[in-house]
Amino acid sequence: MKSEMTKHGLTVSGSHIISKNGLAMKHSDTQNTHQNPVFNIRRDILICFLLVASTLLAYWDVGTFDFVRYDDTDYVTMNPHVQAGITLESTAWAFTSVHASNWHPLTWLSHMLDIHIWGMNPGGHHLSNLLFHAANTLLLFLVFNRMTRCMWQSSVVAALFALHPLHVESVAWVSERKDVLSTFFWVLTMHCHVSYAKSPRFRTYVPMLLFFVLGLMAKPMLVTLPFVLILMDYWPLNRNARFPLSKLILEKLPLFAFAGLSSVVTFIVQQHGGAVNSLASYPLSVRIANALVSYASYIGKMIWPVRLAALYPHPGMPSLWQIVGAGILITGICWVVIRNRKKHPYLPVGWLWYLGTLVPVTGLVQVGLQSMADRYTYVPLIGLFVIGAWGISDFLARFPRRNFIFFILALVVFPMLMMITCVQSGHWRNSIALFGHALDVTNDNYVAHNNMGSALAAKGHLDNAIRHFAAAIQIRPWQARPFNNLGAALMLKGENEKALRFFEKALEIHPDFEDALKNLKIVRKKLEAEMLSDGIGSADRKNP
């Protein structure tokens, strides 16, 4: 009995079974559970039902949301390959294209499949994201429950994953299909790794490798997954007690090889697409400081999820107090984790999960204009959720009415998270709501001003659009896009001479800017037509 419990991270103590990382249970209760498997199955099913139901309830409004002018044009609304659906030609394009500075053929195929199912109905595309998120939640609960045999802690991890407002961006944004799709394969890879740990054979290894490669083809964020599997070997699988670390690493070499290949391909593709910023734009010292502050900021937003935005503008070098404060926080947590690593092995696993899975998106290789992004936390926060679930369980184990306290906490926390998530997801209902909220909670947000201007112009609100384009120019006068957009808005108003100057300025900044070149030709033709019209009118007046 003792060896069986130790195998699953449990220790026997007197007449109670105390999980190192879970709530206490009477020995008789455990025996009854084993003797009555129907009860255990029903409890599993109830938790699964509650997880899926709460996830769908928190996000159900996404079925009424529109596409937004924030990558959705590249991924769906103005992408002829995606709109063609799954054909031989579009499938070949998906596997060979580096459109949007990414190579993720499975993500493209999933968008194409949505076209077959939903057409161009945006609500359907949003619902597909939601279904993947619900599936990820369910799989996450099942894999942690399978590994730890701690049902309640596993359900807490899954519920936090399902309902936390930081995950809204990954779910409510159609273009982030790559997040929810790749995580689906991430968790399936974890499931297969548990099977391989129980029976290390070729036939259990191949599915693990297959799901991992499929995940990389959905989003290269999975490059850190082999590292996470090694953490799982330490806890809760406890494989390090039976095998040396060298063997655990060696068996994952094929996964590391694919991860390395994916990293190289991703860097080349993003650099070729102009998404990677140079060291001149963001020096290494700025990148390191921003990464440190971002690690701390994500923890803060996890605890207090307010003022969340679609894009957080990169501030350059953070202030000294931010750097020092973040350094103290991260160092302090590391000290606590190291000190308690043997007594609570979930601490180093959860903490290293968080630190390690964020590495590709810390900005050390700066891609885009953001300093951080909510979507980057979709997988990394699982590590902190593990620490929270098992840590609270250990803390409550000292109280006689621990189960009641646990229930009350859940009754307060999860409905609150559902409400915040519901409100936050509402900001993604359309472009004007999305960028209006971003402008409310951030400062000097060039992207939000520019995209808000585009959204307003599309609705015919040209004067307001012009104000936002002008604000974007004031923030980043070296960017060509807002000059082109402002010129386009002026051209729609019939102010062609002014529009001409802005198109010329855009091309002065970016001589190969295709949109500005097209608009310049159009506005010149309009001006020529006006001059011709004025000339004809003058001749008519001279010869009545």
- Say how far apart CA 68 and CA 175 lie, in whole Å: 9
Measured CA to CA, the distance from residue 68 to residue 426 in angstroms comes to: 13
| Predicted confidence pLDDT, tens digits, the chain (544 residues) | 334 333 333 333 333 333 444 333 333 333 344 445 444 557 889 999 999 999 999 999 999 999 999 999 999 999 999 999 999 999 999 999 999 989 999 999 999 999 999 999 999 999 999 999 999 999 999 999 999 999 999 999 999 999 999 999 999 999 999 999 999 999 999 999 999 999 999 999 999 999 999 999 999 999 999 999 999 999 999 999 999 999 999 999 999 999 999 999 998 998 877 766 666 677 889 999 999 999 999 999 999 999 999 999 988 899 999 999 999 999 999 999 999 999 999 999 999 999 999 999 998 777 777 889 999 999 999 999 999 999 999 999 988 888 899 889 999 999 999 999 999 999 999 999 999 999 999 999 999 999 999 999 999 999 999 999 999 999 999 999 999 999 999 999 999 999 999 999 999 999 999 999 999 999 999 998 877 765 555 545 544 5
Q: Are 398 and 475 in contact (CB under 8 A)?
A: no
What number of other Cβ atoms are within 10 A of residue 234's Cβ? 19
The predicted structure's pLDDT at residue 531: 76
> In the sheet that 16-19 helps form, which strands lie side by side, from edge to edge?
10-13, 16-19, 24-26
Q: Which residues contact 372 (CB under 8 A, 6 or more apart)?
A: 290, 294, 297, 298, 312, 363
Per-residue pLDDT at 536: 54
| pTM, entire model | 0.89
C-beta neighbour count of 155 within 10 angstroms: 23
User: In whole angstroms, what is the distance from residue 122 CA to residue 66 CA?
Assistant: 5
**Per-residue pLDDT, 271:** 80
One DSSP character per residue, 248-272 reads HHHTTHHHHHHHHHHHHHHHHHHHH
pLDDT at residue 534 in the model:
58
Report domain extents, the chain.
Answer: 2-426, 444-542
| pLDDT score of 103 | 95
State the Cα–Cα distance between residues 381 and 379, nearest whole angstrom. 6
CA separation (Å) from 518 to 182, 470, 531? 37, 21, 20
Chain position carrying tokens 């601490």: 347
Burial of 493 per CB tally in 10 Å (0-12, 13-18, 19+) = middle
Cα separation values, 18 from 27, 191, 233, 418, Å? 9, 25, 22, 31
Q: Considering the domain delimited by 444-542, tell me its CATH architecture.
A: Alpha Horseshoe (1.25)
Angle (deg, nearest 10), helices 402-426 and 37-59: 30
* DSSP letter string, 271-302: HHTT-BPPTTTS-HHHHHHHHHHHHHHHHHHH
**Residue 461, Cβ density class (10 Å: 0-12 exposed, 13-18 middle, ≥19 buried):** middle
pLDDT of residue 311: 94
Residue type, 116: H
Predicted pLDDT at 101: 87
311-343: burial string, b at 16+ Cβ within 10 Å, e else? bbbbeeebeeebbeebeebbeebeeebeeebee
Check residue 171 and give its pLDDT.
99
Which long-range contacts link 329-338 to residues 24+ away (Cβ below 8 Å)?
Answer: 329/296, 329/299, 330/292, 330/295, 330/296
Sign of CA dihedral 352, 17, 156, 225: positive
**Host H or E run for residue 25:** strand 24-26
